[in-house]
Amino acid sequence: MDLRKKISRRKFIEQANCAAIGSVSLFSSLLSLRLTAGAMSASSFNDYKAIVCLFLNGGNDSFNMLMPRNQTAHDQYRIARGDIYNAQNNPTGLAYDLQTLESMGITTEGQNYPEFGVHPQLPYLRNLYNQGDLAFVSNVGSLIRPTTLSDYENSLSIPQGLFSHSDHQIHWQTLVPQVKGTSPRGWGGRVAEMMESLDSNLINNISMNISLAGSNVMQTGNSSVPYITSDAGAVELYNYGVGNDPIITSAVNDIMSHHYQNIYKSTLSNKKQNSIEAAKIFKEAMAPYMIESLQSELGDSYTKTSAQLSMIPKIIQASKSDSSSSLDMNRQIFFVERGGWDHHQEGINAQSSLFSEINSAIELFWEEIKSYGLENDVLLYTASDFGRTLSSNGNGTDHAWGGNHFIISGSANGGKIYGQYPSLEIGSGNDIGRGRLLPTTSIDQYMAEIVNWFGVPASELSTVIPNIDNFNTSPPLGIFNS
């Protein structure tokens, strides 16, 4: 496919649609990736690597995930959050007391003070941090370029649809927050298109992008879509295929291959055909690892999060080219999603139970990854719409901007908080009102670390992360040695 025509056609559509683009050159760079991706060598994929995106849908109140223990900073935190939460005496408060944080204490270099604490329901994450397998990144959010308070007030280069769930979720996935909507497509989709063009092993009915949480923007490219599965494994069409009803099989095939001019009909036929074929391949590859249902395997540990995360080690085993049943893929990106983080109300309790769930699910997942010796080859990172207001709305918090995140990988330089942990004093430098914090690290910088580790060469970084050059004034975060 010639990309030039695509560029001009898109340009035409966007102009005609009066969509806010101002970014024709951006589209050119997004669409020209296959022409320029030659810098990557196919042989570079002999080692296995997987990225797992854990999307906390709704906007995690992450300044209650990672909190300061330094007395002055904790006082600022406590005051900003309406003081220590107490169900009877201070139900509107959102802060955890110093004692709790000390029991969950961690230390770091490179911040204004070394002492922090993690949420009491995250003991496994704290252990990983202390073992050096987990790194936090602080005050991350969608930006187009480094942005000051005055830029924000004057609406200079501000992301589209600020503070709206749907828009911020898209920002995390397209990495092109200056464009409204999903038309720039997802960074994972771009990586897949780049890598699939170089490694024919990756061209398959099963995409290197696998979603355990349905369709998503991140893994969707202009031509590449994720393979979608669930803890049920492959879903096959009944009474169809070898060993099944031959009349149904042949009639379904014939009906499916009818050519349609109508775009919905042809898209539906294509999707159905792909789904049927992919299910067959996936089922065969997964058979040795899906002895019993995940639900019975996990028992009481079966949760919305573990149902997704615990599938991943099985898929990885079925994928690596050195395994017998292999899908033969040495690069994979997984998408996992847990909703329910929009804590306008019941902030403290609801978040605690969700943290407890993800802590346990990650423990199951990561211990299994380690048992296969894959801890240096797998990376899990969190994404979430936005951080939340430091100030309380009486029972919870509202939409804000910058938030804290974490990366888990044996190859990460863990045990450290990266980025700049902000002052939590209301009205301080990053506060744009009510304790909404202007991000100091862009999603791009956070993702650049991950994408570099994954094997995307520096020369192609701006293809995957189109705005990354806007941030090249600051050095890489340095989460991984490269």
Q: Do residues 479 and 59 make contact, with C-beta atoms less than 8 angstroms apart?
A: no
Q: Are residues 417 and 405 in contact, defined by beta-carbon separation less than 8 angstroms? A: no
Residue corresponding to tokens 């024919």 = 200
Is the CB of 171 or the CB of 436 nearer to another protein?
436
Query: Quick one: which of 34, 69, 74, 399 contacts another protein (CB under 8 A)?
Result: 399
Tell me if 92 contacts another protein by CB under 8 A: yes
Decide: 392 and 90 in contact? Cβ < 8 Å: no
Select the residue interacting with another protein from 8, 41, 148, 459 (CB under 8 A). 8
Binding residue (CB under 8 A) for another protein from 51, 228, 374, 456: 228
Q: Which is nearer to another protein, 4 or 203 (CB)?
A: 4
CA–CA distances in Å: residue 178 to residues 160, 167, 195, 467: 6, 10, 26, 10
Which of 101, 225, 311, 479 binds another protein (CB under 8 A)? It is 225
Hey, what amino acid is at 280? K
- How many residues touch another protein under the rule CB under 8 A: the total is 109
**Contact window for another protein (CB under 8 A) among 35-43, 90-98, 132-140, 195-203:** 90-98
Of the ranges 177-185, 295-303, 359-367, 368-376, which one interacts with another protein (CB under 8 A)?
Answer: 177-185
Q: How far is the CB of 271 from another protein (least distance, A)?
A: 6
Scan for tokens 């969707």, then name that residue: 220
392 binds another protein (CB under 8 A): yes
How many residues appear in the chain? 482
- State yes or no: residue 478 binds another protein (CB under 8 A): no
Nearer to another protein, 200 or 257 (CB): 257
Nearer residue to another protein within complex by CB, 201 or 207: 207
315-353: burial string, b at 16+ Cβ within 10 Å, e else: bbbbbbeebeeebbbbbbbbbbbbeebbbbeebbebbbe
Print the SS3 string covering 115-170.
Answer: EEEECCCCHHHHHHHHHCCEEEEEEEECCCCCCCHHHHHCCCCCCCCCCCHHHHHH
Binding mask 69-88 for another protein (x = CB under 8 A): ----------xxxxx-----
Q: Judged by CB under 8 A, does residue 236 bind another protein?
A: yes
Q: Does 215 bind another protein (CB under 8 A)?
A: yes
Single out the residue of 61, 115, 133, 167 in contact with another protein (rule: CB under 8 A).
Answer: 167
Q: Counting contacts by CB under 8 A, is residue 395 touching another protein?
A: yes
Tell the smallest beta-carbon distance from residue 173 to another protein (Å): 13
Give me the residue label for tokens 């994408």: 451
Return the number of the residue (71 or 270) whose C-beta is nearest another protein. 270
Per-residue binder mask for another protein (CB under 8 A), 408-447, x = binder:
------------------x------xx-x-----------
Check residue 185 for interaction with another protein (CB under 8 A): yes
Long-range contacts, 125-129 (Cβ 8 Å, 24+):
125/359, 125/362, 125/406, 125/408, 128/366, 128/408, 128/414, 129/406, 129/414, 129/415
Q: Are 319 and 313 in contact (CB under 8 A)?
A: no
Stretch that binds another protein, among 37-45, 235-243, 369-377, 458-466 (CB under 8 A): 235-243
Binding positions for another protein, 302-321, rule CB under 8 A = none
What CA–CA distance (Å, rounded) separates 74 from 72?
5
Nearer to another protein, 6 or 370 (CB): 6
Residue from the set 28, 344, 376, 420 that interacts with another protein by CB under 8 A: 344
Give min distance, CB of 295 to another protein, in A: 11
Find the shortest distance in angstroms from Cβ 369 to another protein: 24
Binding status of residue 168 toward another protein by CB under 8 A: no
Per-residue CA distances from 221 to 311, 330, 333 (Å): 24, 19, 13
Among 214, 288, 427, 429, binds another protein (CB under 8 A): 214
Q: Is 204 in the site for another protein (CB under 8 A)?
A: no
> Are the C-beta atoms of residues 384 and 341 closer than 8 Å to each other?
yes
Can you say whether the dihedral through the CA atoms of 185, 187, 191, 194 is positive or negative?
positive
Cα angle 268, 271, 274; round to 5: 150
Residues sharing a CB contact under 8 Å with residue 102, sequence separation 6 or more, in sequence order = 69, 117
Residue 148 near another protein by CB under 8 A: no
Q: Interface mask (CB under 8 A) for another protein, residues 243-282, using x and -?
A: ----xx-xxx-xxx-xxxxxxxxxxxxxxx-xxx-xx---
